[in-house]
Amino acid sequence: MDARLRRVNKEITDCKNDKTSQIKIDLFDESPFHLKGSFPGPEGTPYEGGLFEVDIVIPESYPFQPVKMKFITKVYHPNVSSASGAICLDILKDAWSPVLTLKSTLISLQSLLCSPEPNDPQDAEVAKHYMTSKASFEDTATYWTHIYAGGPGAKEKKDKAAGKVTDDEVAIAGLERAHVDRFETLGFQRGKVIDALRRLNYRGPNVTQISDDRVVEELLK
């Protein structure tokens, strides 16, 4: 058994024996070098209550090269691509060190969810959303946690604003339903309106800054 396999084996055993961290590592198939990690969303964040799964690929020169990780679960986070799940985290790139383990890396991902870095974004639209209106961003992140990561989501947390999150598409895009409706009545398709408003980051204080003409222009593109 080569050193890499021995180390992976040890890391999985280590995770199994550690009951406190709540981090799990499972096999996808027979391959020991393609794994599935999972961890609960950190408390006190929009991700609380969700279970986040991560696709782990262990490269040939592990542990001297970083593991490749990306989210399987869709996450609304400035440093995670909302489309592909790709993660922007220094230790997965040039700040990797061979003493880091699968467990410690997954813990780092967990703490990345706690502390987004919008200035070094993976997903620029989400990062803009975060910068523009943190409250609105958090609503959307909570919604995503609810529908994709099995979190308790908006229902319990946001009784007061229940009306806001009834519409899936609008909530996923992190937009206000009223805005979407307004442009839809102008005769545009609902899906197109959502796309355009998302691209323009039509949220929070931006709503007053972006003129309706600008939105229509974007819609007619």
Using CB under 8 A, pick the residue from 12, 88, 193, 215 that binds other proteins.
Answer: 12
Using CB under 8 A, pick the residue from 83, 99, 135, 220 that binds other proteins.
Answer: 99
Which residues fall within 8 angstroms of residue 150, CB to CB, at 6 or more apart? 49, 50, 51
CA 54 to chain centre: 11
Backbone angles phi, psi at 146, to 5 degrees: -65, -50
Q: Does 84 bind other proteins (CB under 8 A)?
A: no
- SS3 assignment, position 96: coil
Nearer to other proteins, 66 or 151 (CB): 66
**Torsion angle, CA of 111/117/121/123, rounded to 10 degrees?**
60
**Part in contact with other proteins (CB under 8 A); list of ranges 10-18, 105-113, 132-140, 186-194:** 10-18
CA 137 to chain centre: 12
Is 15 assigned a catalytic role? no
Q: Does 30 bind other proteins (CB under 8 A)?
A: yes
Catalytic residue among 15, 88, 113, 175: 88
**Part in contact with other proteins (CB under 8 A); list of ranges 92-100, 123-131, 175-183, 199-207:** 92-100
Q: Does 11 bind other proteins (CB under 8 A)?
A: yes
CA 68 to chain centre: 16
Number of chain positions touching other proteins (CB under 8 A): 23
Q: Does 6 bind other proteins (CB under 8 A)?
A: yes
Using CB under 8 A, pick the residue from 37, 46, 63, 118 that binds other proteins.
Answer: 63
Whether residue 82 contacts residue 126, with contact meaning beta carbons closer than 8 Å, is answered with yes
- Cα 183 to Cα 200: distance, rounded to the nearest angstrom: 14
Q: Which residues does the annotation mark as catalytic?
A: 88
